[in-house]
Structure 1
């Protein structure tokens, strides 16, 4: 899909130049987007389409602004002033692109870069004027067997580039992490940004209002207290110190990263069994959580083995929330919420905010998209009804 979008944009640019028109305009972006959506309308929901066209729209809108054109226009001046203008233009384009892409990155990936524009001030000139020429010289001198020196120099400049990248990534301000962003906040920010980019008069600044409201809403988002994956096998809870703990300590990196990003958390993840407020056996794990002015009791299954009814029914009755990757029997009656295979088949993954007793689900009411595969209901092989 990215290759097709690039090909369509290149053909539109060539067509505009052939007709003697100014090809790099917002009309070009609009026509390219319409062509892509005419053949692949589902692309609109993907981060690739959104980020590509948002970045191009921001760059074209900035390039059309009279003050930016005045800054980048050619003039007779010394090399120092020319270099300063080039660096200023690079910084402005980098900041604009990062600001436009930030809502999309936060909505889809729960994280966004903050210092990329400043890192590019070093990375782009270094790559353009040092790395690429050295690689060309190395390839040229390889024809006579003398390219080793230039390859060594290329390696050193790449090491410098990696040093800059690691240095920026190590900064505490390098990325912004947030919990899952609600769709309405995302739509508010994107609508405001589009208003700012598409208008050319003073009306454009009215779009800053929705953007400010959306940013404020994102900053005020509270991380969920409990996260449950769509299969019910993996459960993450917030600890009393603000960290995270997993039900299954042997969960892989993908599960850990996904749950941590969904919670807007970047730190070590503990095992639920190691928490002081947890009681865990091979098959069950009960943990106490303080939130919303009260204490919550959460019970989760952590194996496929059959649990004795007398024990399990007693634990269910004492719990506010019961979570299982199997279909729970009717006699398991927690005080507030029962999350099992039947419920997860309807809702997908679940996030719970205990302060407000609010439940957020991946699947919403009315979701009937063709790419959603309805799971087949099946009885867990290890669960046998008890009479």
Structure 2
């Protein structure tokens, strides 16, 4: 039986021999993902030993057999992925602020990110002569406070600093993880004015900043913000309402410089270069037009990447564009899954931590789905050129765009639901209009406007770009406000997401009939996602904000003055797309100055809302009658719930919580017990060096 199975697998692999190499980045990514998923060093070392045993088993199967080689190489590459991200996490190690502090210090400005829509400026700074502070900080200043500050400038300031925040609720965005790999040890807000070195003036802004300012001077509001985002990667001037509409309509990918934008720049640069170089008979006859045009396109793509800030998505897209150009020059098919796999390998080796972010997952899922779809025989037959009226040809092209958009939406839906707990349902249709509008109207108009601005004739092109951008914003709002435009899901287990991703990859990478075996884990994973119940109670990591589910599917907050950030985090974790009510306004909730009590799914919940000290003896009876007691403060020993007690002693270990009540209650925590990842137990500094004098710059 075992021998028969082995022979069957060997035959399958032999039939798919040209596709086996596509699994190298998958194996590397699996090792990286395993390191993020497993909590302790014991688990990481144990997995390495298991993979070593697997490699030995592959050698026993036989190196001369494809199955044996696949097992050996797969285990080795997966182990390499785990070691790669582990080593990277150790390499970037930097101290993190232990507790919130208010302090004065001088610093060198590393980067400046204007946020005009919020009237803020975000600074990355390096404190000077303050060993008690982390070596790299992210500071937010009000618009006037940070006006004119440029990278490289020395400043003095007073700021409220705090450690990088973890996810406030289970399944939420964990900034502490990203901050660790970015070596940011604290975040904070500027208090008062920022002192600047004498003669600093308005500073020397970077080319990117000057270009963004120029674009904002030509186009106002969110339209100007999107224009700056397309050229320089600066999204700070886009209003929250317009950015949310772009997300809900499935058009948010247009705001992040990635494959679409880099491809457009490289393509137009190459076409223009070929047209100009072909005017030279000597170059054309010598066969230099194509390689020179490719070189010009590569330089244009590289310049655009640097101009846009060289963020990971942009660099990833530029690497893919270079690989396409190389394949084009070698006479190979320009866009294949091998190219996608090569790009994924380069990015994962260069920045292994990027695998955990939605940007990497969304972009590579999209391009893999597009290439796999257009490599399929059915799609090739449908899109093949043929003699037919132009109306049919146009209709076939539009149908191809819709089919491609639907394939991308299906591929991206699990990723969007896992990271953001929502996914746009009409994105495929919206992108049929938005992508051609951006590629063939907005970006060329902006490029021509910037070119003709050098002689003062760019105004007509700016007008065209502004009208097209306003049309794009109108499209985003129209789609976002359509009934059923957004699907939402609550927090769900990562293993279900992993099953869905593995099944999707299996379906996309193989070509023979056994590819359909991937439908099993895909369906199981999606079933887990769709069947996940909504949490009955959500508690943020600081214990201040509590949201309770209502019979109609909505949620109500204990503190109705909660800000937009808290409301958005609660709505995402709950998987709802509706406003949050006030818990104190509900009939079944009894509140006094200090506590609110209500019954939910047969469980009594007691939540503290006041700040006055209460003696333990006065609380004992009320706590004993409750199944769950929640407080942001320390609770006396006499106050203990029948099932669960949450206070300032427990919250640092659990973080935010999602409670599922009923016959078998359970609690899901944002922080895993015993988690040994570096950002959970970082080296710390106090931020209270009283011996260091206040810099004269801050006076």
With normalisation by structure 1, the TM-score equals 0.87
Partners in 2 of 1:178 and 1:99 — Cα distance? 15
Go from structure 1 to structure 2 and tell me whether the alpha carbon gap of 1:118 and 1:250 turns closer, same or farther (over 3 Å shift). same
Segment of structure 1 superposing worse, 325-334 or 112-121: 325-334
Q: Do structure 1's residue 255 and structure 2's residue 561 form an aligned pair?
A: no
Aligned mate of 2:551, from 240, 244, 254: 240
Q: Do structure 1's residue 20 and structure 2's residue 327 form an aligned pair?
A: no
2:607 alignment partner, SS class: strand
Aligned mate of 1:171, from 465, 468, 482: 482
Aligned mate of 1:78, from 371, 389, 402: 389
Contact 1:345–1:375 (CA<8 Å) still a contact in 2?
no
Q: Deviation string for 1:122-168 (max 9, x for gaps)?
A: 32344445555666777788788787666556544444433332221
Partners in 2 of 1:297 and 1:343 — Cα distance? 20
Partners in 1 of 2:346 and 2:481 — Cα distance? 41
Q: Where does residue 338 of structure 1 map in the other structure? A: 645
1:122 alignment partner, SS class: helix
Aligned mate of 1:268, from 576, 579, 586: 579
Contact 2:383–2:396 (CA<8 Å) still a contact in 1?
yes
Q: Where does residue 186 of structure 2 map in the other structure? A: none
Go from structure 1 to structure 2 and tell me whether the alpha carbon gap of 1:298 and 1:55 turns closer, same or farther (over 3 Å shift). same
Q: Do structure 1's residue 96 and structure 2's residue 407 form an aligned pair?
A: yes
Q: Where does residue 532 of structure 2 map in the other structure? A: 221
Contact 2:653–2:673 (CA<8 Å) still a contact in 1?
no
Partners in 2 of 1:32 and 1:144 — Cα distance? 40
Shift of 1:40: 2.1
Shift of 1:86: 1.0
Shift of 1:209: 2.2
1:341 alignment partner, SS class: coil
Go from structure 1 to structure 2 and tell me whether the alpha carbon gap of 1:3 and 1:128 turns closer, same or farther (over 3 Å shift). closer
Q: Do structure 1's residue 351 and structure 2's residue 658 form an aligned pair?
A: yes
Q: Do structure 1's residue 363 and structure 2's residue 671 form an aligned pair?
A: yes
1:277 alignment partner, SS class: coil
Aligned mate of 2:614, from 307, 310, 324: 307
Go from structure 1 to structure 2 and tell me whether the alpha carbon gap of 1:109 and 1:32 turns closer, same or farther (over 3 Å shift). same
Q: Where does residue 506 of structure 2 map in the other structure? A: 195
Q: Where does residue 630 of structure 2 map in the other structure? A: 323
Q: Deviation string for 1:293-334 (max 9, x for gaps)?
A: x3x211112233312333322221121100111232222121
Partners in 2 of 1:92 and 1:138 — Cα distance? 34
Q: Deviation string for 1:24-55 (max 9, x for gaps)?
A: 22122222222222232222111111111111
Partners in 2 of 1:89 and 1:288 — Cα distance? 54
Partners in 1 of 2:619 and 2:631 — Cα distance? 12
Where in structure 2 are there 5+ consecutive unaligned residues?
1-311, 685-699
Partners in 1 of 2:596 and 2:683 — Cα distance? 27
1:39-54 superposed matches below 5 A: 39-54=350-365
2:658 alignment partner, SS class: strand
More relative contact order in 1 or in 2 (CA 8 Å, sep 6+)?
A: 2
With normalisation by structure 2, the TM-score equals 0.50
1:118 alignment partner, SS class: helix
Partners in 2 of 1:202 and 1:183 — Cα distance? 28
1:327 alignment partner, SS class: coil
Q: Do structure 1's residue 206 and structure 2's residue 514 form an aligned pair?
A: no
Contact 2:617–2:638 (CA<8 Å) still a contact in 1?
no
1:250 alignment partner, SS class: coil
Contact 2:425–2:486 (CA<8 Å) still a contact in 1?
yes
Partners in 2 of 1:131 and 1:232 — Cα distance? 46
Contact 1:227–1:236 (CA<8 Å) still a contact in 2?
yes
1:311 alignment partner, SS class: helix
Segment of structure 1 superposing worse, 324-333 or 222-231: 324-333
> Could you say what the CA RMSD is over the residues aligned between the two structures, in angstroms?
2.5
Go from structure 1 to structure 2 and tell me whether the alpha carbon gap of 1:29 and 1:150 turns closer, same or farther (over 3 Å shift). closer
Q: Where does residue 68 of structure 1 map in the other structure? A: 379
Contact 1:196–1:207 (CA<8 Å) still a contact in 2?
yes
Where in structure 1 are there 5+ consecutive unaligned residues?
377-387
